[in-house]
Structure formats: structure tokens, C-alpha cells
Amino acid sequence: QKEVEQDPGPLSVPEGAIVSLNCTYSNSAFQYFMWYRQYSRKGPELLMYTYSSGNKEDGRFTAQVDKSSKYISLFIRDSQPSDSATYLCAMRRGTNAGKSTFGDGTTLTVKP
Amino acid sequence: GAVVSQHPSWVICKSGTSVKIECRSLDFQATTMFWYRQFPKQSLMLMATSNEGSKATYEQGVEKDKFLINHASLTLSTLTVTSAHPEDSSFYICSASWGALAPHSNQPQHFGDGTRLSIL
């Protein structure tokens, strides 16, 4: 069983929809949680970075972390065609940035 | 704007060739950089941690002699795929996190745009 499980998708929504992307994990020691967006043939781009449980909002993006349930989510409001990409969740235990564990990614398509 | 620059973005070469990929941190010093490999529709696989001024730390199963890493300055790490073969074809991505205390920094990783390596 993988340490991080991500809803595989693919996910297709109409423009303007609210998108929910989710990951579950098994390691209760994870403390730092990240969401990355990856366009085709590009490197991952950091979207959200949170520590421990709680919510964080940045524009149309909201990240939620529920450590008691070992569950994290990324919400995208008013989705745009430019949001079409693969979204990766990532998490790590301590401050060693390299030792992040990544989900397999969810591919999102936003149709105009 | 980009904080990590990776070059080249795409390489096609013959089997047996050695290929060097550069990863640069822009406007910050990165004592540690990371090299990943990504297969189509799969997640990132950490290959090695590149440490400035010392030997790289390789993940289990990654051949040190095949994937040579040099981190000669605080802004540049290179990955050389030696005697590349078709099975080495993949998408290679580097990352770095800023912070004077990296890898013990609480800053997230920032990634380069990747290098698509195709070995014929």
C-alpha cells in the first residue's frame, strides 16, 4: 500500500465549476503538505504549502488539511481552461525538503 | 517567475552517449538540490540528493555510476547520464529549496521545467 493515495481521475469539468482534488495518507508523521500543478512536459509548479491541519486560501485555490483523518484537499473555485493540468499532492515529515512523498497525480480538464 | 532553471529541455541522442543536464537556482543559494525521474502518467521518483561540496546521496536502486551528480557551486548541480541506453529515456526534473539551512529548511521545493531525454 502506498503512503500517499491520490484520486486518480481523470477529472473533466465545465468552466466555472468548483473542483475538489483529494489525497489520503497513512503516515501520521507527515507535517508539511503541498499541492503542485504540472502542465504537460513541464516541471511541477508549487500552488499551496501548508503546515499541519487547517485551511489556507490563495485566490481561487483553497487547501485543507485534516490530520485526524489523514486527508488533504485542494479546491479550485471558478475553474478556468488554463487550470487544465495534472495536480500532485506531496507531503513530508520533517524539514528535509527532498524527502517529500508524492501522489500519482490527478489530471484535470476544464472545458470552455 | 521561475526560481529554478533546468537545461536542456529536450535531448535526443544515440545509445552509448553521455548526457549532462544542468540545474540552476536563480537568485538564491541552494546547498541542496534534488533530482527526480518521472515516467509518463506516473509520479515523481526521487533519484538522489545533491549536496554542494560533497557527494550526492542516492536513493536505493539508483546506480551511482550511471547517474553522476556534481554540485560544484551553491547555484548549480549537474546530472550526467553516462553511456545512456533506451531504458534511460525519461523525464528528469531537478528541484531546490531556498533557505540557508537546506535540507533542514522548512521551505518547499521549487522545480525546474524538466529535461526530456530520448535515447535512440
- B49-61 pLDDT, tens digit per residue, is 988 888 899 999 9
Which residues, in sequence order, are CB contacts of A73 under 8 Å at separation 6+?
A20, A21, A22, A23, A63, A64
Which residues of chain A have a pLDDT value below 50?
Answer: none
Residue B103, pLDDT score? 45
**Cβ-defined contact of B103 to A98 (cutoff 8 Å):** yes
Phi then psi dihedrals of residue B87, to 5 deg: -70, -10
Question: Are residues A91 and A34 in contact, defined by beta-carbon separation less than 8 angstroms?
Answer: yes
**Cβ-defined contact of B43 to A88 (cutoff 8 Å):** yes
Closest-CA residue of chain A to B3: A45
Closest-CA residue of chain B to A43: B113
Mean confidence (pLDDT) of chain A: 92
> Residue B105: which pLDDT band, with cuts at 50, 70 and 90?
low
Chain B interface test: which of A87, A93, A102 (most B C-beta within 10 Å):
A102
Q: Has residue B104 got a pLDDT over 50?
A: no
Q: What is the nearest CA distance from B30 to chain A, expressed in angstroms? A: 12
DSSP bridge pairs for A95 = none
Residue A98, pLDDT score? 61
Within a 13 Å sphere around the CA of B44, how many CA atoms are in the beta-carbon half?
31
**Cβ-defined contact of B111 to A43 (cutoff 8 Å):** yes
Mean confidence (pLDDT) of chain B: 87
**Cβ-defined contact of A34 to B42 (cutoff 8 Å):** no
Residue A96, pLDDT score? 62
Residue A93, pLDDT score? 84
Which of A43, A111, A52 is closest to A82 using CA atoms? A111
Distance of CA B2 to the CA centre of its chain: 16
Cell output for B35 = 533530482
DSSP bridge pairs for A6 = A23
Q: Which residues of chain A approach chain B closer than 8 Å at the C-beta?
A: 32, 34, 36, 41-46, 49, 51, 88, 95-100, 102-105
Q: Has residue B99 got a pLDDT over 90?
A: no
Residues B25-34: tens digit of each pLDDT: 887 888 788 9
Question: Beta B76-81 vs A85-92: how paired, if at all?
Answer: unpaired
Which residues, in sequence order, are CB contacts of A49 under 8 Å at separation 6+?
A32, A33, A34, B108
Q: Which of A42, A99, A104 shows the shortest C-beta gap to B43?
A: A104
**Cβ-defined contact of B111 to A45 (cutoff 8 Å):** yes
Q: Which of B32, B101, B114 shows the shortest C-beta gap to A43?
A: B114
Q: Has residue B42 got a pLDDT over 90?
A: no
Q: What is the nearest CA distance from A85 to chain B, expressed in angstroms? A: 12
Cell output for B65 = 555510476
**Cβ-defined contact of B116 to A41 (cutoff 8 Å):** yes
The per-residue DSSP string of chain A comes to --SEEE----EEEETT--EEEEEEES-TT--EEEEEEE-TTS--EEEEEEESSEEEEETTEEEEEETTTTEEEEEESS--GGG-EEEEEEEESSSBTT--EE---EEEEEE-
C-alpha dist (Å) from residue A11 to A87, A107, A111: 11, 6, 11
**Cβ-defined contact of A43 to B95 (cutoff 8 Å):** yes
